[in-house]
Structure 1
């Protein structure tokens, strides 16, 4: 990446190439292109984002309800926007802008680069097939809401009830006849001669065989009548199922036809289809919407028009979705599920910033030991340090401690997120590990965290209950989900407010991944992200979250012990 200091002097006739209206001559270019999955936006990218935000506020070409203006009609939908600072063939520095998905119901707008493939052009195969799919959806909805299915189910239930009652009555009659035969046998033994009794017994056996035969005939008729009664409902259900199956097949074919149009380039001028990209990356079918995010759009346009990518940034504009945590005007990394395979290919040939997630901690980083005896070890874990080895980074509390205590183990009883600092309890023996783990499982351990929130909290205390699950499209991010999420409960108390930030004490009742982070940032939680939270808030020097206190029974003496370490923020 060039480091020349240039002033924007856009001579291009490309309407998508935007020049900076402010002086940028004093702004050095980055040494490497942005690593899109974890970054602090370069100053030029921030300036470009400010230009785009000003355009959104002042333009009158389209109307979209971002949820920021109560007078705008329609469903409120926030949107991710992206900027790509580029250099043209004449050395001019400018930027390109894009949005993810659709904006105001369209893929193509004058200010933003076009999509890799515009599926919304008039009479496109997508719109034509979408109309067919809509017709199928309407048929399914009409059938499901018609009441026919419910009426047929009721009619079947009534018929089955009648048939069941008739069968029960028939069996009852046969049972009574059997009892009568038994009584007749017992009485006849005393009153009849052996020969006469033998003749009677033969006749009673014939009656019994006749009853069994009649029962078989009756049961066959029962099943025939029940099958006949079921048929109208089965025909209705099969009709709906056939429509849904047709819809599924058509949707899959349409998706594959769409993916065939998405051919991406990289800095080496190589081209690869999105299907091949995902197959090479993780051997799966691309998720719906792959290639529609802002970053791939920007890089594709840059490569096709001979622009050199310099810096990338993406920001959220508008109201946060109900499940995800997105804050207005905050910068966010590219999503993993859809963008990681595509951008991994598109960035080949560029000099990229290092992935900070792959960098091992400084070997000089110390792990302070608060307390130890023959059974337990209490440490103060530094921030940005793994509790256990990761896929790419091995250095961790576990590897450090097992090196220091080679005969100890299993050691790890619980974990802290890599970015979280604070008290971590380790067990030196199997017995200690089991005893402390049982206390965690039975909620006999008391602990609290201290966090610095990026905003002012008015209330003094409260409780948050928001169920959480992983965001399948953007791991490791979590989201709030009332349907599939696991219960997550946090109690909190306010400590102080200073310089527009609130220090709070958290008492997690449950221990879900990123629980405190998402409970802090979500609009239905504290609505204030933790300072330095690069997933749910804004990146800073560190995540201001610290495990400050823990209390439990010593695994051997059963004495109640506690430890406290104040945060360094």
Structure 2
């Protein structure tokens, strides 16, 4: 098998699906990291969703029940509307990863690289890794290892029993010897006394030596058995190291062989291609991370698959959208039929390359919009500000305006003096405390660490809330592949607790007892929380119109200099 066999062929007759459309075509592709699906994408998604429900769509073969059932367990699908070359819109459709062990199917764009060929490099080496994993599992669960572990426990118990019995004998003997010595002292009888005292000393010394011998005998048996167990465990450790090396090498091969085109191919007809490793290295160098490596699964999302198909067919992308289908993962928040932006860890470096040469709408998250910052309170030590939705709390990677940058400029505070004690999400509005000097900063930070600062938020939910009040406790951690998204993780997540109380049909007050990123948003949206997303939440909700309806309405703390208890409130802007 040659490298050429790794790359699929693209047939426009089977991959291109027509759209009935009479309007103008977009002149810019929507930003895949921040968008609402346009009318063209909505039409295409409607057809794909009809198929997934078991219906019929023009140009498609009906989906078999096995495909639909697996998709219903949860899968990301995507559509890319393209110009067919005659100013008529058509669309490509795809899904992330695999369904039924396949990365494509009739009507679906294939994976960028077909590494699933049964006799190919990947599957051959994957089988070798699986064999090592089986050997590890066999050793870890072997009867011999279990027998040795049980034998070690038995020997330790026997040792402890014999040692305890000998110590009891020693204690009784000591009491007897002490009594005999006392009798010798009381009788003041010297005849034979020295001989008896010497005998008692020898007896004590013998029993102490015998205790050491008992311990040594049992410890020798235990050590010999432990060494046999360690030999098995050393083999397991060596096999795990071998498996990791094999996995890393196979991953490296995948990333070297996954070659992606970009939009310049459509402009001059010359294919511009780079592999995933090259793309990540150049992106990392440009963004100050020269050692950036692609995560596992890079290139398997819908976005690069769809764009690669368009470029291979020579078609210009017009608009794209990715939507979730089926059940939500337990740890994440996904809503069926809801569109989601491209992930940051895997897709952002890839799309920074693939979209070159294509006119793309700017990312509003990276724009340098200016916002007025209301000063609610200010003295020589602190300011309390009302941050508007859309403003960062601290400067981001692109130097966008933030509460910190505005307040440093306003107050003339140097960069080496910390001033931001706590943060609000960019889309959240409300009250923040800003320190004017280091002493105030540390005093306020200590109050936060001791949970002495109390904050109340107000949120507008997507639906009426039927519970009056309660507490949500769901541990959170970041999603490393899609920061800043958070996921619920009962094993590795950090404790996150929120109290809530309904104050209107669909309005709640929220009191965070911990301060995790996106805590209130996840606790409202997650099915084990309120199961009712905050209105306008683009990450965790379904209604994206307008701003995120979450506002830090009240904060109580002690003044860092006077010690006075202060409470500030601000009007809710929604």
Name the CA shift for 1:128/1:433 in 2 (closer, same or farther; >3 Å).
closer
Aligned to 1:345: 353
Residue number among 552, 558, 563 corresponding to 1:553 in the alignment: 558
Task: Note closer, same or farther for the CA distance 1:216–1:286 as it changes in structure 2 (3 Å cut).
Answer: same
Q: How does 1:379-398 map to 2 (within 5 A)?
A: 379-398=385-404
1:471 deviates by 0.6
2:59 aligns to what?
Answer: none
Give CA-to-partner distance per residue, 1:353-373, whole Å, 9 cap, x none: 2232322122xx321222223
Which runs of structure 2 are paired with 1:229-248 in the superposition (5 Å)? 229-248=225-244
SS in 1 for 2:503: strand
CA contact (8 A) 2:52 2:63 kept: no
Question: What is the rounded CA distance, in whole Å, between the counterparts of 1:536 and 1:234 in structure 2?
Answer: 48
Does the C-alpha gap of structure 1 residues 553 and 107 become closer, same or farther in structure 2, counting only changes over 3 Å?
same
Q: Which deviates the most, 536-545 or 434-443?
A: 434-443
Instruction: State the secondary structure of the residue aligned to 2:509.
Output: strand
- Structure 2: how far apart are the matches of 1:114 and 1:43? 25
Distance in 2 of aligned mates of 1:544 and 1:227: 65
How far apart are 1:468 and its partner, in Å? Answer: 0.7
1:221-236 to 2 correspondences below 5 Å: 224-236=220-232
Counterpart in the other structure of 2:33: 37
Between 143-152 and 294-303, the greater mean CA deviation after superposition: 143-152
Work out whether residues 80 and 100 of structure 1, in 8 Å CA contact, stay in contact via their aligned partners in 2: yes
Partner of 2:548: 543
CA distance in 2, matches of 1:371, 1:465: 33
Instruction: Show the counterpart of 1:567.
Output: 572
Offset at 1:487? 0.8
Report if the CA contact (8 A) 1:65-1:77 is conserved: no
1:65-76 mapped onto 2 (5 Å cutoff): none
Alignment-derived partner of residue 515 in structure 1:
519
Shift of 1:508: 1.2
Tell me whether 129-138 or 377-386 shows the greater mean CA deviation.
129-138
The residue number in structure 1 matching 2:321 is 313
Equivalence map 1:155-170=2 (5 Å): 155-162=151-158
Q: Deviations over 1:131-161 (max 9, x none)?
A: 4444444444344444543321121232344
Contact 2:385-2:431 at 8 Å conserved across structures: yes
Shift in CA distance, 172/510, structure 1 to aligned 2, threshold 3 Å: closer
SS class of match (1:15): helix
CA shift in 2, pair 1:15/1:463, >3 Å: same
How many positions carry a matched residue from both structures? 540
The alignment partner of 1:303 has SS state of: helix
Task: Find out whether 1:264 has 2:260 as its counterpart.
Answer: yes
Match of 1:23 among 16, 21, 38: 21
- Residue 166 (structure 1) shift: 6.4
1:421-445 Cα deviation digits (max 9, x unpaired): 1112223344544443333333233
Which of 336, 360, 364 is 2:344 aligned to?
336
Measure the CA separation in 2 of the matches of 1:557 and 1:253: 61
CA distance in 1: counterparts of 2:84 and 2:530, whole angstroms:
45
Instruction: List aligned pairs for 1:201-212, cutoff 5 A.
Output: none
Unpaired runs of 5+ in structure 1? 1-11, 67-71, 198-203
Q: Deviations over 1:333-375 (max 9, x none)?
A: 111112122222212222222232322122xx32122222333
- Aligned partner (choices 487, 499, 509) of residue 495 of structure 2: 487
Indicate if the aligned counterparts of 1:167 and 1:222 stay in contact, CA closer than 8 A: no
Query: Which residue number in structure 2 is paired with residue 201 of structure 1?
Result: none
Which structure 2 segments of 5+ residues have no match? 1-10, 57-61, 195-199, 265-270
Query: How far apart are residue 310 of structure 1 and its match?
Result: 1.7
Moved more, 110-119 or 277-286: 277-286
Residue 326 of structure 1: aligned partner = 334
Q: Report the more deviating stretch, 111-120 or 239-248.
A: 239-248
Matched, 1:531 2:535: yes
Is it true that 1:278 corresponds to 2:283 in the alignment?
Answer: no
State the SS of the aligned residue for 2:294.
coil
C-alpha contact 1:84 1:309 (8 A) present in aligned 2: yes
Q: CA deviation at 1:483?
A: 0.8
Superposition RMSD on alpha carbons, in Å? Answer: 3.7
Superposed displacement of residue 212, structure 1 = 11
Q: 1:533 to 1:77 in 2, by over 3 A?
A: same
Determine if the alignment matches structure 1 residue 505 to structure 2 residue 509. Answer: yes
Per the TM alignment, residue 561 of structure 1 is displaced from its structure 2 partner at its CA by: 3.1
Q: Mean alpha-carbon deviation: is it higher for 218-227 or for 522-531?
A: 218-227
CA distance in 2, matches of 1:75, 1:86: 25
2:72 and 2:325 in contact (8 A); partners too = no
Give, in angstroms, the shift of residue 545 of structure 1.
1.0
Q: Using the TM superposition, give the Cα deviation of residue 387 of structure 1 relative to its aligned residue in structure 2, in angstroms.
A: 1.8
Partner-residue secondary structure (3-state), 1:383? coil
8 Å CA contact 2:155–2:218 kept in 1: the answer is no
Distance 1:466 1:65 in 2: 33
User: How far apart, in 2, do the equivalents of 1:136 and 1:267 lie?
Assistant: 42
- Return closer, same or farther for 1:153/1:37 CA change in 2, 3 Å cut-off: same
What's the TM-score, normalizing by structure 2? 0.82
Q: CA deviation at 1:301?
A: 1.1
